[in-house]
Amino acid sequence: MAMLGRREADVARLVADGLSNKEIGGRLFISERTVDSHVRSILNKLGFNSRSQIAAWLATANR
């Protein structure tokens, strides 16, 4: 998680919980487009291609 910014980490946790970009935006009081930007940034930083990879990574990181 250290490689992600604070807001990216917040978004990653909610992605792992299975929330949509719209739901994440509502929870964090940011636009859906901003959430999409954070998700793309997370995917790029971690070298992933899907939201499910973010969830799996978080599950292993939190053990």
| DSSP-assigned letters across all residues of 7-50 | HHHHHHHHHHTT--HHHHHHHHT--HHHHHHHHHHHHHHHT-SS
Give the pLDDT score at 30. 98
Consecutive 10-residue averages of pLDDT for the chain (63 residues): 92 98 98 98 97 95 71
Cα 1 versus chain centre, distance: 11
Give the pLDDT score at 13. 97
Give the pLDDT score at 28. 98
* Domains located in the chain, CATH noted: 6-61 (1.10.10.10)
Give the pLDDT score at 14. 98
Q: Per-residue b/e over 46-63, b at no fewer than 16 CB within 10 Å?
A: eeeeebeebbebbeeeee
Q: Is the pTM of the predicted complex or chain greater than 0.85?
A: yes
